[in-house]
Copies of this chain bind each other. A is one copy, B any other.
Amino acid sequence: MRNIKMTIEYDGGRYLGWQRLGDSDKTIQGKIENILSEMTGSKVEIIGSGRTDAGAHARGQVANFKTESKLELAAMQEFLNRYLPQDIVVKELEEVPERFHARYHAAGKKYSYYVWNNVVPSAFERKYSYHYPGNLDVDRMNEACRKLVGTHDFIGFSSLKKSKKSTVRTVNEITISREGNLLHFEFIGEGFLYNMIRIMMGTLLEIGAGTMEPEYIDAIFESGIRSDAGMTVPSQGLFLDEVYYD
């Protein structure tokens, strides 16, 4: 059986997220599986590196699937990009060892979140960023980022109910950069809990705005109470940039 790794880019604006929901045609996984099944003539299931939220985007989502098909990779990619909706693109296909598993073997991920930080909104960035018109103090946010980086129990920064599984995660790096009115937040970590980036972002914005102190990050780690952290910012500013494998 061949095992094929795919790197996928999508504008998630029209979709209910990555993960297939029954027979729904409104998920990225569903769209790709349908085309692959047509292409190979038998039902194909793909394994994603993880879910992405409804409305969130990806520049480098990774998935794998097994197939008996003898089609060359270039022909597969051409077929997929011809029949997929134009807002989903297969950027790369690669033949990998049969044991490769896109979720189990993912060693880390890089995400971006964009904030359009100006009173006047943007006609072009509105679908790819969160519009925050107020002043944001980047130094204060950087101070909070230094507290978020490291190995912590992130349950307070998650929409998970109490979980039997560990909610300890390691965040390796958070960087903030500005290009004109667009603030770019980049998160690199071994793994993230459900809604964790969007809640860290909502918390960073409160700290940047001055309504929360950077030190309060420690208190959220200590209490582990979701409502102590900031709001869950909207999904349209979130991009899965890259999935790392060893």
Question: Which residues of A from 1 to 50 have beta carbons under 8 Å from B?
Answer: 9-11
Report whether B122 and A89 are in contact in the complex, using a CB–CB cutoff of 8 Å.
Answer: yes
* Chain B minimum-CB-distance residue to A118: B91
Q: Could you say which residues of chain B place their CB within 8 Å of the CB of A199?
A: none
Copies of this protein chain in the complex: 2
Q: Could you say which residues of chain B place their CB within 8 Å of the CB of A11?
A: 123-124
Of B77, B89, B122, B126, the residue contacting A123 (CB under 8 A) is B89
Q: Could you say which residues of chain B place their CB within 8 Å of the CB of A81?
A: 120-121
Q: Could you say which residues of chain B place their CB within 8 Å of the CB of A77?
A: 120
Whole-angstrom distance between the Cβ of A15 and the nearest chain B Cβ: 11
Counting chain A residues whose Cβ lies within 8 A of the other chain, the interface size class is 10 to 19
Distance A86 CA – B10 CA, assembled complex (angstroms): 22
Q: Could you say which residues of chain B place their CB within 8 Å of the CB of A10?
A: 123
Decide if A229 is an interface residue (CB 8 Å cutoff): no
Whole-angstrom distance between the Cβ of A143 and the nearest chain B Cβ: 32
- What per-residue 1/0 map shows which CB atoms of A95-122 lie under 8 Å from chain B? 0000000000000000000000000111
* Chain B minimum-CB-distance residue to A8: B123
Report whether A124 and B86 are in contact in the complex, using a CB–CB cutoff of 8 Å.
Answer: no
Q: Could you say which residues of chain B place their CB within 8 Å of the CB of A126?
A: 86-87
Report whether A9 and B123 are in contact in the complex, using a CB–CB cutoff of 8 Å.
Answer: yes
* Chain B minimum-CB-distance residue to A81: B121
Distance A86 CA – B77 CA, assembled complex (angstroms): 35
Q: List 21 A-B contacts (CB under 8 A).
A: A9-B122, A9-B123, A9-B124, A10-B123, A11-B123, A11-B124, A57-B124, A81-B120, A81-B121, A86-B121, A86-B126, A87-B123, A87-B126, A88-B123, A89-B120, A89-B121, A89-B122, A89-B123, A90-B120, A91-B120, A124-B128
Residues of A within 8 A of B (CB): 9-11, 57, 77, 81, 86-91, 120-124, 126, 128
